[in-house]
Amino acid sequence: MGRLLLAILSASAFLGSSASAQTPQPEILSPAPGTVVDAEPLGDGAIMRLMWSSPAEANVEDWAIYVGSTPGAWDYQRITHMNRYFKFPDQESLKIGVPADGSTFYVRLFWRPRDSGFSHLDVSYVAPDFSDIALGRIFSSGFE
């Protein structure tokens, strides 16, 4: 029993932990969590800008962003930057792919401070609904 508990604790430490308020943590600046995102149509989905910041005291060296239909999933997009020689910028801005059907989607920001395990922050958003735009394209193309 003791070995099993030790194995479980070791595995959870290896996988990382969620953000804590004890040390400075990266944060998502925009869009505000829980909001309908401002995005542009792109193919069958949409593209939005995600902006986050990291205080210098956080000493972030590696990071990843997952965008998915459930917390922690990356079925829409996954961006990783694992580089021990890269200094995490004070602010980062990326365009990310999201659904365009009015559904809720989730963004997970992972980060790893120097000489520490990964932590993460989960937020949810509501996708724009571009279904009317797609229908408008069909009707304007002569297929009425």
Give domain limits for the chain: 17-140
| The pLDDT of residue 113 | 83
- The whole-number average pLDDT for the span 4-9 is 36
Nearest one of 123, 117, 122 to 15, comparing CA atoms: 117
Taking the C-alpha atoms of residue 113 and residue 117, their distance in angstroms, rounded to an integer, is: 7
Q: What pTM did the predictor assign?
A: 0.71
Taking only the tens place, the pLDDT of each residue in 28-76 is 999 999 999 999 999 889 999 999 888 777 778 788 899 999 999 999 9
Position 138 confidence tier, pLDDT thresholds 50, 70, 90: very low
Is the predicted pLDDT of residue 3 greater than 50, yes or no? no
Q: What CATH number is given for 17-140 in this structure?
A: 2.60.40.1930
Strand 45-53 to strand 60-68: parallel, antiparallel, or no bridges (unpaired)? Answer: unpaired
Q: Name the CA dihedral angle for 67, 73, 76, 79, rounded to a multiple of 10 degrees.
A: 60
Taking the C-alpha atoms of residue 144 and residue 133, their distance in angstroms, rounded to an integer, is: 15
